[in-house]
């Protein structure tokens, strides 16, 4: 077997980053070399898992701490918009994100060509929502393959019969689909025109309005599990599109701490992700509500531990949890709908209450309820009684638990990272 050098270039967010880590771990078990192309702020993440990482500036160069603070401030500045519907976020959060994403593609073009020429990877795997022209050009000119990894909802690959990405629309709600698509394209068009001008300057063909990336002609890996996938008008070609059934990485073990109260009660895990943890008022409200229930809870407060007083005796706070080691030990999860947590809950057969605020969290919240794997709950418009009722249903709904067990068995039998590694191994040099 020829040894390949496989480069991974995930988006600068923990979800995509850690998915690629899982695949890279499996790639190396097959005897290949995995390296990372990385936003400077994430280099240490990959190095922490033992991988070589090469920084690619995706914005004006600045120290890693400043870059982390930039995105923290970006998210926290949009907290008022988290109360809005997906449709009403198009004019603010969604627009601002796409402006930043397009800028990142322009910045990457400065560093990527030279880095690719130095590394000479046999395969480049991109987990992002925007095209980096240098990667497509490198593959074309050197007879190499590039692979698209889709960490978010599978509706990143558009189809007229399924909800548009970021919309949170129901699968069959065609009126919602049309309304969202029309407004999204209207608001995003100036940004899209600018992006197309950039593509043209790089020798690439422009995209139709609303499209910022394309499917790879070689291989596309969707982390979405088949039990929750959408019914498309045009089924995806399995020769180019493969569902990985999640991509759970190996992580450090976790021992559940002793609780001062309810130590034998059902255990919850509450996390809104590293960026969503900035919504401290919401987390305080959840902690107070859960503190009065006959349960225990592990609550991820991110970098905001100092914002909290002593928690209730049945609640444990931490700035970080190794999720793949925690979720198997809990009875239910309350989260923001990020695709890693979404798929990890399904992988381990745990019911979820999703309280979305942005991006594909809206899609995953709708989908978890549509497919009977959990519940969607408005992030702010809920009462303690409503939350307690949903938690009780997560713990007692036998039909839901049976479905989750079936989904878990299917996903674990596939083992997404191993499946991805074998597919990458099968690509011609």
Question: Each residue of 191-200: pLDDT tens digit?
Answer: 999 999 999 9
Give the pLDDT band (50/70/90) at residue 3.
very high
Residue 1's pLDDT is what?
A: 60
3-state helix, strand, coil in the chain (%, to 5): 50, 15, 40
Measured CA to CA in angstroms, residue 290 lies from 315, 345, 368 at distances of 8, 20, 22
Q: Is 428 exposed, middle or buried (0-12, 13-18, 19+ CB in 10 A)?
A: exposed
Please say if the pLDDT value at position 389 is more than 80. yes
Please say if the pLDDT value at position 68 is more than 70. no
For the chain, what is the mean pLDDT? Answer: 93
What are the tens digits of pLDDT across the range 320-349? 999 999 999 999 999 999 988 999 999 999
Please say if the pLDDT value at position 13 is more than 90. no
What are the tens digits of pLDDT across the range 215-242? 999 999 999 898 999 999 999 999 999 9
Higher-scoring residue by pLDDT: 340, 421: 421
- Helix and strand counts by DSSP (H, E) for the chain: 14, 13
HSE value, Cβ hemisphere, 13 Å, CA-based, for 328: 12
Q: What is the mean pLDDT of residues 409-429?
A: 91
Strands of 309-384 (E only): list them. Answer: 315-318, 332-335, 352-354, 374-376
Residue 154's pLDDT is what?
A: 92
Give the pLDDT band (50/70/90) at residue 117.
very high
Q: What size, in residues, is the chain?
A: 429
| Count of CB atoms situated within 10 Å of the CB of 370 | 14
What are the tens digits of pLDDT across the range 48-60? 999 999 999 988 8
Give the pLDDT band (50/70/90) at residue 67.
low
Q: Is 307 exposed, middle or buried (0-12, 13-18, 19+ CB in 10 A)?
A: middle
What are the tens digits of pLDDT across the range 159-213? 999 999 999 999 999 999 999 999 999 999 999 999 999 999 999 999 999 999 9
Residue 319's pLDDT is what?
A: 94
All structural domains of the chain: 5-248+415-425 (3.40.50.2000), 267-413 (3.40.50.2000)
Question: Which residue from 214, 242, 105 is spatially nearest to 157, judged by alpha carbons?
Answer: 214
Lowest mean pLDDT segment, chosen from 70-79, 82-91, 168-177, 346-355: 70-79
Please say if the pLDDT value at position 419 is more than 90. yes
Which residues lie closer than 8 Å to 367 by C-beta, 6 or more apart? 153, 171, 228
Residue 66's pLDDT is what?
A: 73
**Which long-range contacts does 71-77 make (Cβ < 8 Å, 24+ apart)?**
71/12, 71/275, 72/275, 72/278, 72/303, 74/100, 75/275, 75/276, 75/278, 76/278
Cβ density class 266-283: b for 16+ within 10 Å, e for less = bbbbbbbbbbbbbbbebb
37 token code pair: 């192309």
**What whole-number distance in Å separates Cα of residue 8 and Cα of residue 11?**
10
Residue 246's pLDDT is what?
A: 80
Q: What is the mean pLDDT of residues 13-26?
A: 90
Which residues lie closer than 8 Å to 169 by C-beta, 6 or more apart? 86, 163, 176, 177, 180, 366
* Bridge partner residues of 8 (DSSP): 36, 125
């Amino acid at each position: 077997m020829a040894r390949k050098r496989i480069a991974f270039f995930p988006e600068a967010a923990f979800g995509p980053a850690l998915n690629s880590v899982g695949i890279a771990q499996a790639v190396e078990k097959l005897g290949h070399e995995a390296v990372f192309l990385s936003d400077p702020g994430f280099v240490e993440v990959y190095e922490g898992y033992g991988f070589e990482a090469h920084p690619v500036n995706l914005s004006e160069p600045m120290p890693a701490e400043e870059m982390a603070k930039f995105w923290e401030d970006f998210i926290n500045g949009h907290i008022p918009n988290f109360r809005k519907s997906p449709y009403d976020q198009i004019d603010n959060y969604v627009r601002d994100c796409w402006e930043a994403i397009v800028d990142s593609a322009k910045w990457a073009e400065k560093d990527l060509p030279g880095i690719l020429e130095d590394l000479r990877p046999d395969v480049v795997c991109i987990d992002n929502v925007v095209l980096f022209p240098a990667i497509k050009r490198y593959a074309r000119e050197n007879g190499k393959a590039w692979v698209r990894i889709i960490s978010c909802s599978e509706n990143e690959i558009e189809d007229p019969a399924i909800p548009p990405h970021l919309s949170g629309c129901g699968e069959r709600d065609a009126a919602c689909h049309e309304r969202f698509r029309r407004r999204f394209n209207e608001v995003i068009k100036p940004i899209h025109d600018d992006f197309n001008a950039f593509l043209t300057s790089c020798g690439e063909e422009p995209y139709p309005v609303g499209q910022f990336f394309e499917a790879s002609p070689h291989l596309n890996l969707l982390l979405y599990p088949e039990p929750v996938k959408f019914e498309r008008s045009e089924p995806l070609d399995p020769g180019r599109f493969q569902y990985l059934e999640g991509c759970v990485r190996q992580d450090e073990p976790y021992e559940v701490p002793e609780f001062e109260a309810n130590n034998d009660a059902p255990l919850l895990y509450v996390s809104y992700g590293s960026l969503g943890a900035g919504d401290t008022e919401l987390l305080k409200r959840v902690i107070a509500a859960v503190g009065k229930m006959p349960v225990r809870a592990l609550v991820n407060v991110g970098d905001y531990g100092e914002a909290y007083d002593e928690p209730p005796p049945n609640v444990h706070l931490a700035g970080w949890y190794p999720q793949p080691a925690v979720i198997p030990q809990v009875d239910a999860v309350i989260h923001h709908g990020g695709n890693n947590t979404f798929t990890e809950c399904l992988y381990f057969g745990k019911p979820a209450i999703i309280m979305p605020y942005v991006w594909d969290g809206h899609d995953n919240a709708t989908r978890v309820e549509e497919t009977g794997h959990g519940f969607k709950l408005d992030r702010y418009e809920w009462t303690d009684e409503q939350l307690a009722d949903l938690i009780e249903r997560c713990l007692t709904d036998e039909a839901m638990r049976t479905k989750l067990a079936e989904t878990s068995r299917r996903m674990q039998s596939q083992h997404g990272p191993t499946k991805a590694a074998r597919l990458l191994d099968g690509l011609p040099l």
